Chain A
Amino acid sequence: MQAAIEINELTKDYYLGFWRKRPRRALDGLTLTIEEGEVFGFLGPNGAGKTTTLKLLMGLIFPTSGGARILGRQIEDVSMHHDVGYLPEQPYFYDYLTARELLDYFARFFRLSAEERRRRIGSLLDLVGLSSAADVQLRRYSKGMLQRIGVAQAILHQPRVVFLDEPMSGLDPVGRREVRDIILDLKRQGRTVFFSTHILPDAEMLCDRVAVLVGGKLQGVGSPEQIVSIEVESLEVLFELPAGSALPPALEAAATQTGARYRIQVPEAQLYGVLEGLRAARARIISVSQLKPTLEDFFLRLVSGEQRRHAVEISGGGL
């Protein structure tokens, strides 16, 4: 079965300096496969190469080496765009057009009848909550409104694969919820969604799989749980000390105090040693709970370089 997106050793160098001598490698040998129907999150800090990847896939810039296929067709094949939708980062559209006119203009590039166009534009404007502003020129639109119309134009032609670059940016919580719902809806329809984001809780919630990109290199691919399970699990002990009792000196540094309660994080291996110390101090144990690490923790640690050595491709779905 053909994959939705196949990326193979995709590399992009930028030449800096007047004589173009020093190349900066924005993307280094990215290899990735995404199946149809997946919701795939593309994570990474600023400058990691996420937007570069998306631009390469959409044919806006050209790879230095390597290639990719979308729905079995090479990225140079523009006809493939019939089945692909794209929301650019910080979208900007023709400000002399109204939202309705813009959607109508873009719709004309697909084989749709006038009736069909009108119907879809109407329902899309409803979906992204812009019906009331449909006939206002885009130059009057706020960033959030532009973001919404951007999403609308990306899915207007009901593409099989949708690329979204930072779809949540510029949106208030209500807007973010709406986009989340749209993505889930797309998934329900069996479409493939590939999006990049900073907002990790969203990625955790929405994605079947995620990939993490740092400095142009792929750091890890897998489902959110798989990724975070790389984290060493730790436990959190909540306790109180009786009046007059002091904190065992070994724990003083690690414990945080809120009112009468203390909280301490303990790696699993050291749990019983700590509990012993607390019992000796006649602490009253309130709870011992497993700390579920978040993608964000993983992410922050990864970016700061500590987890580099744990970067492993876990998922078996790639080539």
Chain B
Amino acid sequence: MTAAGKLAEPVRGQVNADGILLSADPRLMRLHLRSGGAEGGPLAVPELAELCRLSRRLGMNLSRPAQASDDECRIDMWVETRFASPEKGERLSLEIIDWKERPHEEPRQMDPARARDFDRLEGRGVIRTDAALRIIAQQMPGDADQASDAIGQSLLDIYDVIPPSGHARLLEAVAERQPIRNQRVQEKFGSQHLYVLQGQPLIDKVGIFAGYRFAATPDIPETSDNDNKPVATKLISDSLFGFQLGPALRQPLGKIIANAETISSKLEGPLRGDYASYAKDIASAGRHLLELVNDLSDLEAIERPEFTVAADDIDLVDLAHRAAGLLAVKASDHQIRIDLPKEGEKLPARGEFRRSLQIIVNLIGNAIRYSPDGSVIKLRVSTDQEFARISVTDQGDGIAVEDQDRIFEKFERLGRSGDGGSGLGLFISRRLAGAMGGSLTVTSSAGKGSTFTLALPERE
């Protein structure tokens, strides 16, 4: 792609009365072919073809701006149509006197480590394979570190494909480089966990198929045997989210968000006016709903009597950097700077990796939500009395002393609304901190910002 702007020489082409592109300069021909046209076929660039039709219907020369798009860039043009003579049926010349190419907004290519953090935060595992379905990397839900024993083995040697799908159908999809949706698999050895895989084919920079990236969600088998379900307390959320609504809502919401983001980033071509902003609104509303579903699922999980957390070896400085990375876009949307402990510093602690990350993401997310644009959020670590502590300090309005306990209550919003919060985040975070043997506290005064501190047992 050339980033060339205005041309010394116009790009030219000729179209006959049937709309067939008779000749074209290389740039126009390339655009025509990339728009699905063929040599000797009708002009396939929609806006140019429309101008030609209008020009021919009126029998007049036109001079107008036009926009086109191919795989690589959006092209702003100034197009002039010219009849060689006034005779009907005469070929029409196209002269494009401005040809400004702008690369498409990069579909936010996510850093693989950041993508993994998102997956872990959502309780998903990740399996990366090569083109022959050999596992290159694997990190399953609940594992603090990458599994090394599976590396190099075929995916099908580690996992059984569960009916109704079979090996053949999976291999067929792989052979056609198709995305793989809702493929149920079971570990052949060990704990024999069940997972649902969503696979995206990976294409490298030279366009060659390079394998798959699978997201693995633990699969809870549908069974009529109520013994498998918690019975100790019959909470409404048990039946609503744990087994039914949560999984059923996440998938369509995920599709809505993904499609709305595709539209808003104009990946499929140019979009008239500001329709992209509508799609952005849809994606944002979808994300809000998904967060609510996740909060309600977490609420259900922590209220179960058998709820437990793993005791992983974690590093709070590392978690601070990961959490800040996950929220970097949101912070930059509000020109907020997140001031982090120095990279390389370490503060070992004991707690479940995913749940600790979830708490810190929640604290930073709240700080962004309630801080003025352009402010600074500070993350600091310290140790005392066998606890490792991480604090998140914002420059928001602060919380009055009498409200500081209330904010940790379920659905407590302190009268706020419309800011995307559900009133569950701090309640869940404090319960999670407690379950890990730690605590979550706040110090604040009205008008002077707030400091939330997560304390977790220090690791030896």
Q: Do A and B bind each other?
A: no
Q: Which residues of A contact B (CB under 8 A)?
A: none
Q: Which residues of B contact A (CB under 8 A)?
A: none
